[in-house]
Amino acid sequence: MRGSITIVGASLAGLRAAETLRRDGFEGAIRLVGDEPHLPYDRPPLSKQLLAGDWDVDRTLLTPPQKLEPLDLDLYLGARATGLDVAARELEVDGVSEPYDGLLIATGARCRILPGTEGMAGVHTLRSLDDSLAIRDALDGGASRLVVVGAGFIGAEVASVAVGRGVAVTMVEALSAPFGRVLGEEMGAVVADVHSAHGVDLRCGVGVAGVSGGPGDLEVELSDGSVVGADLVVVGIGVVPNTDWLEGSGLTLDDGIVCDGTCLAAPHVTAAGDVARWTDPRTGVPLRVEHWDNAVEQGRHAARRLLTTDEEAEAYTPVPWFWSDQYDRKIQLAGHPGPGDEVRVVQGDTAGHRFTAFYGNGGRLTAVLGMNRPRHVMQGKLLLEAGATWDEALEAAAGWG
């Protein structure tokens, strides 16, 4: 492609896309538009090292400023994409329309808000750098009672950090177990045991009816009628893809930007990261993956798709994986476990919180879960990439030391 490429989203996916374009020889202008004033930063440390106070802000940057210079990017930070006309090939930024030759959208997602708490002092979500610093400031300021709403990735990691800082934590989860939708009830119960062992007051199968008060004097009313006092509340109940600005653009929107199997959303338009939705060629299942590794790989793939013809384009066929650091446990999952999968521990034991488990369905291996077993998860990921059967996977695991 000649001309210029605009990337909307100064994110992990957006930056890796820009790097890929330059690495693959694209010499045209690259405009990187981001709605935050910060240089692109890494999100996993926000609920871990930065929140704990172990890192300063500069360590979260994905690329130091001096290493951005060779990319020769036109940076538009603190600028918001406000509209798109695919037919006219025009992007609107802060109300001003400009033409594009190629467009990559990596606008990510935003946190769901607990009803009735929007703008309430002392109640936070955690998605951005500023969010993390605000929660850290509250903890530094003496908050000693934390209620975490939602026992997913963000909630569980915030709880872990807070316990490490001596804070009393109550974690509220509407499902019967943490990570229940992702790991299933059996493995979710193991994660629950990890948190309970570290003193977290875990309340599963209960929702939040309302929050009242202010910082240092909050009351969280639960659906079972109980009330939990808190100095600080952090809400982690999932995210919504940032596609509102694309209404009427000509793109297909359905829980994200709908792409084909090559990450193409429309002629000359691709999408990557949390905002992209595509059908997995391996399974035929529509996916929108919110993991760090997918943002990296899909950002690269979507960038290359802009430089290739339809005939040359390759399908995007990742085996996604993620990790979550909670206390002294590293939880990793590769693949796509489903609600009807068989789950079998193939190495270690769940009681000791150090094990490897396989998920399988229809005679195929579907996912690999590890707790403090990073080598096994990577070996399992290779099995998933190879399309291993259930029996082949079990045989391979029997030989792991």
The confidence score (pLDDT) of residue 90 equals: 98
The confidence score (pLDDT) of residue 267 equals: 97
Q: What is the mean pLDDT of residues 79-87?
A: 98
Lowest mean pLDDT among 65-74, 206-215, 280-289: 280-289
Give the DSSP letter of residue 315. Answer: -
Place of tokens 């981001």: 34
The confidence score (pLDDT) of residue 282 equals: 77
Q: What is the mean pLDDT of residues 121-133?
A: 98
Q: Residue 269's beta-bridge partner residues?
A: 103, 266
Domains (range + CATH), the chain: 4-110+239-306 (3.50.50.60), 113-235 (3.50.50.60), 328-398 (3.30.390.30)
- Nearest CA among 11, 41, 3, 35 for reference residue 302: 11
Q: What is the mean pLDDT of residues 211-230?
A: 96
- Nearest CA among 278, 267, 296, 188 for reference residue 241: 278
* Pairing of the two strands 102-105 and 109-111: unpaired
Instruction: Tell me the pLDDT band of 280, cut-offs 50, 70 and 90.
Output: confident
Q: What is the DSSP secondary-structure string of 134-190?
A: HHHHHHHTT--EEEEE--SHHHHHHHHHHHHTT-EEEEEESSSSTTHHHHHHHHHHH
Q: What is the mean pLDDT of residues 100-129?
A: 96
Instruction: Tell me the pLDDT band of 285, cut-offs 50, 70 and 90.
Output: confident
The confidence score (pLDDT) of residue 188 equals: 95
For the whole model, what pTM was predicted? 0.95
Q: Provide the sign of the torsion angle of the four alpha carbons 259, 264, 268, 273, taken in this order.
A: positive
The confidence score (pLDDT) of residue 1 equals: 64
pLDDT digits (tens, 9 = 90+) for 170-180: 999 999 999 88
Place of tokens 């190495």: 347
- Nearest CA among 288, 285, 292, 283 for reference residue 255: 288
The confidence score (pLDDT) of residue 339 equals: 87
The confidence score (pLDDT) of residue 283 equals: 77
Residues 6+ apart with CB under 8 A from 209: 221, 222, 223
Give the chain's end-to-end CA distance (angstroms, integer). Answer: 49
For residue 20, count other CB atoms closer than 10 A to its CB.
Answer: 19
Give the DSSP letter of residue 389. Answer: B
The more confidently predicted of residues 283 and 45 is: 45
One-letter identity of residue 171: M
Give the DSSP letter of residue 207. Answer: -
Question: For residue 143, is it left (φ>0), alpha (ψ between -120 and 50) or beta?
Answer: beta
For residue 391, count other CB atoms closer than 10 A to its CB.
Answer: 11
Average pLDDT, the chain: 96
Percent of the chain with pLDDT over 70: 100
Q: What is the mean pLDDT of residues 159-173?
A: 97
For residue 331, count other CB atoms closer than 10 A to its CB.
Answer: 24
